[in-house]
Amino acid sequence: MKTKKAFSFPIILTLVLCGIFNLIAWKSTAFSDFYVDNIFPRLTSVYSRITSIAPFSVGEWLLVLVVIYVATTVLFILLHTIFLGIYHFFLSKKESVKEAKKVLDGISDFFYRVTPVLLAITCVIMSLNCFVLYHTSKIPLYAPGESYDLQQLADLRDFVVKKCNELSKQMPRDEKGNVVYEGDMTETARRAVAALSNDYKRFDGYFSVPKELYFSEFMCQQYMQGYYFPFSMEANINSKMAIMNKPFTMCHELAHTHGYIYEDEANFFGFLACIRSDDIVFQYSGWLGVLNYINNDFYKAVDKDVYNSHVKISDRVRFDNQFVTEEEWKEVEKKAVIKTETVKKAADVFIDTNLKVNGVLEGKVNYTQVVGLIMDYYYHGPDSGV
């Protein structure tokens, strides 16, 4: 018992310190900004270098191990409880059963000791690499307080559509019309986001290697293009999605690894990194990455006749802009263990709840707020009119 008490003290202390750290972060934007600008990069650059060595997503397999551990723990507790009940009522005098009980008690003691340690480690990593990021200042606007009218939204929408239509004609394609990419997409993404450091200092330093997820079919069912894993500091993407989603998603997730946790900001930086790249496929992916957000906002703001009077999105752009190809969807549904509709609903609830718990009260709507950032950049940024 003494060992257990002595062992639990550092864990309790760790959890208390995590609580204090998160409370200060919630209450002080200045504290969060200082941490993310000065301490976070030093911690994560070392961490990212280590996890980048692995050719697979470390974060993904850590999640798999967590699921296995939790399932094993719950199953063992259930079986152990049943065994103890039977033992005390019927088998307490049998020596062979007493030995079995010692073994099971030893396993129980293992779970008793290890689970709090894992909880404390998780709390520390998530606090340092994730939770505090939600309480930093939003990126400064070029024209703070500026309001935009419907005509300006229409002009921006038409400009983006024209860019997509033009770039779609310049893409290298295979015989089926699919865009092909022969370069090193991960390195191009890292260079593209690193180039933003000229304007945004948080992008100084080391960038982790974007990695495709093994369970990408499951990501398709969630309609997710990428994940940032704070406990491995990795930018992960869905390998099954259509190719034109990949450059933008890589840049989006890399923005998360450098402290930009808000989805609208990560979308903005994914867009900016791509369109500033000298790689034409990345440029196209950047414009496609924000097309739906801007087009949807305009579509909701006007009637059908007005919408149809504006620049048409070409069939080629619509084809390139799909989330997953028809052939890939068939494979996803064929391998699905749980219905896609169920997975999608659960994922939406989880993401929305996670954002709101961390202070992003608009939840998933935060993704679409990139339109405001692009409006500000388009009309007032250094590349006004792009």
**For the CA atoms of 195, 197, 199, 200, what is the dihedral angle to 10 degrees?**
130
HEC-encoded secondary structure of 98-110: HHHHHHHHHHHHH
Q: pTM here?
A: 0.88
- Indicate the residue type of 330: K
pLDDT at 63 over 70: yes
From 232-236, 364-368, 381-385, the region with the lowest mean pLDDT: 364-368
Pairing of strands 211-212, 226-229: unpaired
* pLDDT tier at 82, thresholds 50, 70, 90: confident
145-164 mean pLDDT: 94
pLDDT at 91: 58
The rounded distance, in Å, linking the Cα atoms of 159 and 372 is 15
Average the pLDDT over 112-130 and give the result: 92
Please check whether residue 355 is in contact with residue 348, taking contact to mean a CB–CB distance below 8 angstroms. no
Q: 11 CB contacts (<8 Å, ≥6 apart)?
A: 116, 117, 119, 120
- Give whole-number Cα distances, 136 to 147, 213, 286, 355, in Å: 24, 29, 25, 14
Q: Is the pLDDT of residue 155 over 50?
A: yes
Q: Is the pLDDT of residue 76 over 90?
A: no
End-to-end CA distance of the chain: 68
pLDDT tens for each residue of 224-237: 999 999 989 999 99
Whether the Cβ atoms of residue 108 and residue 76 lie closer than 8 Å to each other: yes
Q: Rounded to whole angstroms, how far apart are CA atoms 160 and 313? A: 10
Q: In whole angstroms, give the CA distance from residue 22 to residue 39.
A: 15
pLDDT at 4: 45
**Would you state the pLDDT for residue 107?**
85
**Residue positions counted in the chain:** 386
Q: Mind listing the pLDDT tens digit for each residue in 21-61? A: 999 999 999 999 999 999 999 888 898 999 999 999 999 99
